Chain A
Amino acid sequence: MIGALLRPVEALGAAILGFLTLLGGVTRMAIEGWIMAVAPPYRLGLFFKQMDFVGVGSIVIISITGFFTGAVFTLQSNLAFRNFGAEGFTGATVALALTRELSPVLTGLMVTGRAGSAMAAEIGTMRVTEQIDALEVMAVNPVQYLVSPRLVASVIMLPALTMTYNVIGMAGAWLVGVGYLGIDDSVFWTRIWLYVDPDDIIVGLIKAACFGFVIAAVSCHRGFHAGGGAEGVGQATTRAVVISSVSILISDYFITSLLEYGLLAGG
Chain B
Amino acid sequence: MAEARNPAGLAGPEEDTIIKMVGLKKSFGPHTVLRGVDLDVPRGRVTCIIGRSGEGKSVLIKHVLGLIEPDAGDVLVDGESMIHCSQRERRRRLRRFGMLFQNGALFDSMSAFDNVAFPLRESGQKMSRKELAERVEAKLEQVGLQGVGAKYPGQLSGGQRKRVGLARAIALDPEILLYDEPTTGLDPVRTHAVDEMILNTARDLNITSVVITHDMQAVHEIADVVAMLYGGVIHVRCDAATLRDHPSEVVQSFLHGRPMADASTGQLVQD
Q: A and B: real partners?
A: yes
- Interface, chain A (partner B; CB < 8 A): 41, 122, 125-126, 129-131, 133-134, 136-141
Query: Which residue of chain B is the closest to A138 with respect to CB atoms?
Result: B119
Tell me, rounded to whole Å, the shortest Cβ–Cβ distance linking B83 to chain A: 14
B67:A137 contact, CB within 8 angstroms: yes
Query: With A130-B105, A133-B105, A134-B101 known to touch, is A139 a contact of B122 (CB < 8 Å)?
Result: yes
A-facing mask of B50-73, CB < 8 A → 1, else 0? 000000000000100101000000
How many B residues face the partner with a CB closer than 8 A? Answer: 22
Q: Please measure, in the bound complex, the distance between the C-alpha atom of A230 and the C-alpha atom of B92, giving whole angstroms.
A: 33
Does B215 count as interface, using CB distance less than 8 angstroms? no
Query: Which residue of chain B is the closest to A32 with respect to CB atoms?
Result: B87
Query: Which residue of chain A is the closest to B67 with respect to CB atoms?
Result: A133
Q: Which residues of B have CB within 8 Å of A134?
A: 99, 101, 105-107
Residue in A41, A133, A134 with the greatest tally of chain B CB atoms within 10 Å = A134
Q: Please measure, in the bound complex, the distance between the C-alpha atom of A105 and the C-alpha atom of B155, giving whole angstroms.
A: 40
Q: Please measure, in the bound complex, the distance between the C-alpha atom of A133 and the C-alpha atom of B108, giving whole angstroms.
A: 14
Query: With A41-B124, A141-B87, A141-B91 known to touch, is A136 a contact of B105 (CB < 8 Å)?
Result: no
Which of A122, A125, A133 is the one whose CB lies under 8 Å from B62? A133
Tell me, rounded to whole Å, the shortest Cβ–Cβ distance linking A28 to chain B: 13
- Interface, chain B (partner A; CB < 8 A): 62, 65, 67, 87, 91-92, 94-95, 97-99, 101, 103, 105-109, 118-119, 122, 124
Query: With A137-B94, A137-B97 known to touch, is A131 a contact of B124 (CB < 8 Å)?
Result: no
Tell me, rounded to whole Å, the shortest Cβ–Cβ distance linking B252 to chain A: 34
Q: Please measure, in the bound complex, the distance between the C-alpha atom of A244 and the C-alpha atom of B66, giving whole angstroms.
A: 32
Which of A129, A138, A140 is the one whose CB lies under 8 Å from B103? A129
Query: Which residue of chain B is the closest to A130 with respect to CB atoms?
Result: B105
Q: Please measure, in the bound complex, the distance between the C-alpha atom of A134 and the C-alpha atom of B95, giving whole angstroms.
A: 12
Query: Which residue of chain B is the closest to A140 with respect to CB atoms?
Result: B122
Query: Which residue of chain A is the closest to B165 with respect to CB atoms?
Result: A134
B108:A131 contact, CB within 8 angstroms: yes
Query: With A137-B65, A139-B94 known to touch, is A129 a contact of B119 (CB < 8 Å)?
Result: no
The contact sample of 8 A-B pairs, CB cut-off 8 A, is A41-B122, A126-B107, A131-B105, A133-B105, A134-B101, A136-B65, A136-B67, A139-B122
Q: Please measure, in the bound complex, the distance between the C-alpha atom of A148 and the C-alpha atom of B118, giving whole angstroms.
A: 18
A129:B65 contact, CB within 8 angstroms: no
Q: Please measure, in the bound complex, the distance between the C-alpha atom of A140 and the C-alpha atom of B122, giving whole angstroms.
A: 7
Q: Which residues of B have CB within 8 Å of A126?
A: 107
Which of A41, A122, A131, A136 is the one whose CB lies under 8 Å from B94? A136
Q: Which residues of A have CB within 8 Å of B118?
A: 138
Residue in B91, B92, B99, B105 with the greatest tally of chain A CB atoms within 10 Å = B105
Known contacts A134-B99, A140-B122, then 19 further A-B pairs from the complex at CB < 8 Å, ordered by chain A residue: A41-B124, A125-B108, A126-B107, A129-B103, A130-B105, A133-B65, A133-B105, A134-B106, A136-B65, A136-B94, A137-B94, A137-B97, A137-B98, A137-B99, A138-B118, A138-B119, A139-B91, A139-B95, A141-B87
Q: Please measure, in the bound complex, the distance between the C-alpha atom of A137 and the C-alpha atom of B94, giving whole angstroms.
A: 6
Which of B91, B103, B122 is the one whose CB lies under 8 Å from A130? B103
Q: Which residues of A have CB within 8 Å of B65?
A: 133, 136-137
Q: Please measure, in the bound complex, the distance between the C-alpha atom of A130 and the C-alpha atom of B124, giving whole angstroms.
A: 23
